[in-house]
Structures are given as C-alpha cells and as structure tokens.
Amino acid sequence: MSTNTVEFHRVLKATPDRVYRAFVTPAAFAKWLPPHGFVGTVHELDAREGGRYRMSFTNFTTGHSHSFGGEYLELRPGERLRYSAEFEDPNLPGRMQTTVTLREVFCGVEVRIRQEGIPAAIPAEACCLGWQESLTLLAQLVEAEIND
C-alpha cells in the first residue's frame, strides 16, 4: 500500500521559540492544528524525546471525531521537532512522521514541514488543504503581539 508525503514552507513574523512552543504546548496545539471546521482536544502530551501525545479532531458540524497519537522522536527547542502519528481508526493504517525545521531569518522564522507516511486513503490534496488551514491558524497564533 502506497503512502503520501506533503511538504510546506512558510516564513512567519515570530521567533523560532514561539513557533516551537506552539507544537509542544497542549492548549496551543489544540488551537492551531485542527483545520477549519474542526475542534481539537489534546488528551495527552509529554513533550520530551520518547514522550507520547494523543489528540482528537471533532467535526464541529457532525460531531464525528477521529483520534490519533504518537511519539516525540526528536525535540531541539527553537530548531527542530520530529514526531510520529498513527490514527486509531483501523481504516487508516500506518505510521506517519512529521519533521518541523525552524530557522531564524532577518524577518522572523522560516518553517519547513515534511509529513511522510500519510495513509493512502487520505488524498494528498486533502492533506495539503488541511495543513494550509492549520498553518494559517499557526501564523495567527504566533504572529500576534499582545501586551498585557
């Protein structure tokens, strides 16, 4: 069974640390990762190499939910994250791996994301659309300058 791979590149007006924290802070992850129309719930997040996470996305319209989780394979604060993910749905078999590379640039942070092993049942285009929506939400979270 073949699998899909998607890659993304963005430059955000934020710091590498702020973007890194958006991936390892449960409330932040639940806020930005679910694509439009979904609500995220983080059930577990142990942000250390070898630590595990588990979350679910719930369709706001239908209430249908799907859960997934995995392991943190590499965590270098402000630089790089690598984590696995597996869906709990047996119709979406396999183990995905996401690699996030952060690099400070003069106007913010360059973000490169590569997700491999996406189950063949998920069209690459649908995965791309979801990630594009999620990255818009990530930008809104990390680029906001709020002083209080």
Can you give the CATH number for the domain in which 98 is found?
3.30.530.20
pLDDT digits (tens, 9 = 90+) for 37-56: 999 999 999 999 999 999 99
Summarize the confidence of residues 114-129 as an average pLDDT: 93
Give the structural domain span for 13. Answer: 3-143
With a threshold of 0.85, does the pTM exceed it? yes
Alpha-carbon span 69 to 26, nearest angstrom: 13
Residue 148 forms part of a structural domain: no
112 falls within a domain: yes
Q: Which two tokens stand for residue 53?
A: 């996470």
pLDDT at 3: 84
Give the HSE-up count for residue 103: Cα atoms under 13 Å, Cβ half-sphere: 7
Q: Is the pLDDT of residue 2 over 60?
A: yes
Is residue 29 a part of any domain in this protein? yes
Number of domains in the chain: 1
Q: Does residue 42 fall inside a structural domain? A: yes
Q: How many CB atoms lie within 10 A of CB 4?
A: 19
